[in-house]
Amino acid sequence: METLWFVLIAVLWLGYLFLEGFDFGVGMLLPVLGRDNAERRVMINTIGPVWDGNEVWLIVAIGATFAAFPGWYAALLSAAYLPLTLFLVALIGRGVAFDYRGKVDNPRWRKAWDVTIVAGSWIATLCVGLLISTTVLGLPIDENGDRVGSAFAAVRFDTVLGALAFAGYALVHGAVFTALKTEGEIRERARRVALTIAPVALLPLIALLAVVAGVWAGVVVLVLAAAMWRLLHNRDGQSFALMGLAIAASVAILFGSLYPNVLPSTLNDAWSLTIANSASSPYTLQVITWVAAFGTPAVLVYQGWTYWVFRKRIGVRHIPVQ
Amino acid sequence: MEVLELARWQFGITTVYHFLMVPLTIGLSLLVAGMQTAWVRTGDERYYKMTKFWGKLLLINFAMGVVTGIVQEFQFGMAWSAYSRFVGDVFGAPLAMEGIVAFFVESTFLGLWIFGWDKLPKKVHLACAWAFSLATMASAYFILAANSWMQHPVGIEMHEGRPRLTSIWAVLTNNTTLAAFPHTIAGAFAVAGAFLVGIAAWHLHRKSEEERVWRSSLKLGTWVGVVAFSVLAISGDLQGKLMFEQQPMKMAAAEALCHTEEPAAFSIFAVGDVTRPDCENVKSITVPALLSFLAHNDFSTEVKGIEDLVPLYQQKYGEFYPVDERLGELSGKPIDYVPALPVTYWGFRLMIGFGAISAGLGVFMLWLTRRNRTPTGWWFPALGLAGIATPFLANSFGWIFTEMGRQPFVVVPNPSGVDGVWMFTAQAVSNSTPGEILTSLIALTAVYSVLAVVEFYLIRKYVRGGIPGVLPQKSDDGALAFAY
């Protein structure tokens, strides 16, 4: 039962990284791919109907961790207090920016919210990468699960690599998504940018996986190469799907290497939090398993339907004239 | 103890701020779904315009509700990790359920509603509005179940020093939850009702376009407010009776009732200091025997006062905090079982007072606008707009009373429940440094302050813009009815 929930939480993180990965990427690339206001509106509209739903994957991942592994939730969140504060501020700013940017017709107003979207997307992406690599690579925690040492214990070489890994992935993923969802010049630009930055941007992810799992990183390298190859041949949809496969493989490698720990202690192996010593009681796990068993398929169906409803590519011609 | 104080301030600020958005969102989303239903059923353009106008204001507010809600979920782990470890087995379950069952629905169907105006068949689009507004209510239910469990733990057994869930059904049907839910939802409708009344009155006064829209909105708002208030009164009375049984100290503190009285009088207003031990000297205007009735449905029964409750609490839950370095200067010190009296006493009165003013205003507005009249004086819109603040204030004071009134406990013992299930707030905080908490307190409060100004500005702008400001722009091929 604990193992099932460990896998489910990994799946929730996968859903989050895959889905919000591209909407983070779109935010990060807003000034690069969107040259004027109309183009930026096209970009934001590609994620408009879905980004909020994507974000719920994070909320459920954290909520499920609280319910299934309170020890993990308590140790990780209290130890990474400052990075998480930064993350929350970035998410708040970015979230309201999407909604508020178009509500006043004034270039300075829009500019301010565009800056918020870009900064918020970058900061939030880096923080998510930091958070996940911290849980995989461990923290200096004592036998109570409390952090020992500085407030910046979560910020180290290997976790910063994790931060860059997800940021780099989100950049490419966002560009591929923009290519898939738009038409005309902006689509061409998105493809060009994705292909140009991919070799550099994806490097930290591969490095992180190599640190964690050695040659297994090769699998992800192959999938990512295939994604870029399909993009080169104008197969945006296949490229996007392969990007999804790449993050799925990465999550499998990262969480696979973590198991059966949930948060290793870098001080003493005996103090590591494991699925056994941080899990809730079997009854609680059973309750939330029932909820997840009925809830998750429904979520997949109606979120999938949303993507279907808004499946059409959009372009500058769809943006109302102001 | 610095970390404790900072963490409490942070929790108070983020929670009260979040709860400025929540009630308006809950109330307004159901009313908007209702307006859209009226439009789909009757085809009357007036209802379409109402849906668009109030829907726009809902969305401006919704965004803030969502982003400030995320903070709530994180701060249990960040600032209150000892609490999270203690209660995780129970408290996490309703939170996870909220996410899976309600929150996904809410955010997904909201996206569909915003962007789907021209893309979905009318009825499907309407169903999206209902899906997200009902999910908003479900969300409130799960959160209240979690909160009520802290007020009155049920459905558990003790296992290795921690409560362990034995019945999720007991947690979801906790009588504290069943009383808190209608009370909170009615509070949300009171907010939405006053919001409609105030803004519609202002537009009527200005003789804005679409008089029919404003008149219908005003009428709807007043009725919603009046009905909400009667539900508030009934459910509040129910809640009070439960509270006398479950948290007698909270209710004694709400009345600043020092000594046990039989029958006990209800204090309407106090002159003088309600702080302990001076509560003996308070001169208050009272209604004889009313408190006895509120507590037990009987005008002659005894209600226990603070001085008599303290020894009972000490006997049951200990006189001193345990000796533990994590408790800082509280370690080994006597436990003060009396919550801050000025906060509870005045919080309780302000909640009821502002609630009553709000309902009274609603009735008065209904009478003022009878037979399609509109008073011409400037005071009419002023009264309406000022009236918007009253249910917000009542809600905030209600929550401050509820949460401060349970101190020094974070998990309040259930007098007839499993022995040993309680937790002092002082034991619940994380092992963080004051600097970390202070940094996040400043950062979040600063962001909140900026956003409060922005939200107020936007709401004001769209209120002033009236109906023309919210009707959709169309692109040449009509592919997009809404664009950021």
What DSSP assignment string belongs to A129-198?
Answer: HHHHHHHHH-B-B-TTS-B-S-TTTT-SHHHHHHHHHHHHHHHHHHHHHHHHHB-THHHHHHHHHHHHHH
3-state secondary structure of B153: coil
CB contact under 8 A, B111 and A102: no
pLDDT digits (tens, 9 = 90+) for B153-166: 999 999 888 999 99
pLDDT digits (tens, 9 = 90+) for A179-198: 999 998 999 999 999 999 99
B99 chain-A contacts, CB cut-off 8 A? 56, 59-60, 63-64
Lowest mean pLDDT segment, chosen from A260-269, B39-48, B125-134: A260-269
Residue A316: inside a domain, yes or no? no
Query: DSSP alpha helices (H): ranges in B259-300?
Result: 290-296
Range of the domain at A58: 1-307
How does the average pLDDT of chain B come out, rounded?
A: 90
Closest residue in chain A to residue B92, using alpha carbons only: A67
3-state secondary structure of B423: strand
Closest residue in chain A to residue B160, using alpha carbons only: A281
B321, B335 contact by CB (below 8 A) = yes
Instruction: Tell whether the model's pLDDT for residue A317 goes beyond 90.
Output: no
B191, B24 contact by CB (below 8 A) = yes
Lowest mean pLDDT segment, chosen from A141-145, A217-221, B448-452: A141-145
First to last CA, chain A: 56
Label each residue of B44-60 as H, E or C. CHHHHHHHHHHHHHHHH
Q: Total domain count for chain A?
A: 1
- pLDDT given for residue B476 in this prediction: 46
- pLDDT given for residue B483 in this prediction: 55
Distance between CA atoms of A62 and A73, rounded to whole angstroms? 7
CB contact under 8 A, A71 and B435: no
Nearest to A280 among B76, B92, B166 (CB): B92
CB atoms within 10 A of CB B38: 18
3-state secondary structure of A25: helix
Q: Which residues are CB-contacts of B407 (< 8 A; sequence separation ≥ 6)?
A: B339, B340, B425
Query: DSSP alpha helices (H): ranges in B206-305?
Result: 211-246, 248-255, 290-296
pLDDT digits (tens, 9 = 90+) for B278-312: 566 666 788 888 888 888 888 888 888 888 899 99
Pairing of strands B156-159, B162-165: antiparallel
Is A13 within 8 Å of chain B by CB?
no
Distance between CA atoms of B225 and B361, rounded to whole angstroms? 9
Residue A319: inside a domain, yes or no? no
- pLDDT given for residue B282 in this prediction: 66
B59 chain-A contacts, CB cut-off 8 A? 99
- Cα B397 from chain centre: 9
A52 chain-B contacts, CB cut-off 8 A? 66, 107-108, 110-111
Q: Which residues are CB-contacts of B143 (< 8 A; sequence separation ≥ 6)?
A: B94, B95, B98
Residue A126: inside a domain, yes or no? yes
Residue A231: inside a domain, yes or no? yes
CB atoms within 10 A of CB B206: 12
pLDDT digits (tens, 9 = 90+) for B171-226: 999 999 999 999 999 999 999 999 999 999 999 998 888 889 999 999 999 999 99
Instruction: Tell whether the model's pLDDT for residue B274 goes beyond 80.
Output: no
- pLDDT given for residue B482 in this prediction: 55
What whole-number percentage of chain B has pLDDT above 90?
64
- pLDDT given for residue B260 in this prediction: 87
Distance between CA atoms of A123 and A95, rounded to whole angstroms? 13
Instruction: Tell whether the model's pLDDT for residue B1 goes beyond 80.
Output: no
Element (H, E) at A113: helix A107-137
Distance between CA atoms of B408 and B319, rounded to whole angstroms? 12
Residue A312: inside a domain, yes or no? no
Q: How far is B251 from chain A (nearest CA, A)?
A: 32
CB contact under 8 A, B81 and A49: no
Closest residue in chain B to residue A304, using alpha carbons only: B108
Lowest mean pLDDT segment, chosen from A101-105, B19-23, B119-123, B280-284: B280-284
Residue A279: inside a domain, yes or no? yes
Q: What integer is the mean pLDDT of A210-231?
A: 92
Residue A315: inside a domain, yes or no? no
- pLDDT given for residue B419 in this prediction: 81
Q: What is the CATH number of the domain that holds A210?
A: 1.20.1630
Residue A13: inside a domain, yes or no? yes
- pLDDT given for residue B481 in this prediction: 47
B408, B218 contact by CB (below 8 A) = no
Distance between CA atoms of B150 and B274, rounded to whole angstroms? 27
Q: How far is A220 from chain B (nearest CA, A)?
A: 30
- pLDDT given for residue A20 in this prediction: 95
Q: Which residues pair with B164 in a beta bridge?
A: B157
A64 chain-B contacts, CB cut-off 8 A? 96, 99-100
Q: What integer is the mean pLDDT of B128-153?
A: 95
In this prediction, does ipTM exceed 0.85? yes
- pLDDT given for residue B418 in this prediction: 84
pLDDT digits (tens, 9 = 90+) for B56-84: 999 999 988 888 989 999 999 999 999 99
Is A139 within 8 Å of chain B by CB?
no
Mutate which of A47, A96, A150, A262 to disrupt the B interface (most B C-beta within 10 Å)? A96
- pLDDT given for residue B39 in this prediction: 95
CB contact under 8 A, B108 and A303: yes
Distance between CA atoms of B20 and B26, rounded to whole angstroms? 11
Distance between CA atoms of A255 and A244, rounded to whole angstroms? 16
- pLDDT given for residue A220 in this prediction: 93
Q: Which residue has the higher pLDDT, A33 or B482?
A: A33
Q: What integer is the mean pLDDT of B137-152?
A: 95
Encode burial over B170-182: b for 16+ CB neighbours within 10 A, e otherwise: ebbebebbbbbbb
- pLDDT given for residue A227 in this prediction: 94
Closest residue in chain A to residue B430, using alpha carbons only: A78
Q: How confident is the model at residue B478 (pLDDT cuts 50, 70, 90)?
A: very low
Instruction: Tell whether the model's pLDDT for residue B332 goes beyond 70.
Output: yes
pLDDT digits (tens, 9 = 90+) for B335-364: 999 998 889 989 999 999 999 999 999 889
Whole-number CA gyration radius for chain A: 20
For residue A41, the one-letter residue type is: R
- Give the tokens for residue B131: 């899906």
B112, A49 contact by CB (below 8 A) = yes
Q: How far is A284 from chain B (nearest CA, A)?
A: 6
pLDDT digits (tens, 9 = 90+) for A88-129: 999 999 999 998 998 888 999 999 999 999 999 999 999 999
Q: What integer is the mean pLDDT of B425-445?
A: 92
Q: How confident is the model at residue B20 (pLDDT cuts 50, 70, 90)?
A: very high
What whole-number percentage of chain A has pLDDT above 70?
99
- pLDDT given for residue A83 in this prediction: 94
- pLDDT given for residue B279 in this prediction: 64
pLDDT digits (tens, 9 = 90+) for A160-185: 999 999 999 999 999 999 999 999 89
CB contact under 8 A, B91 and A312: no
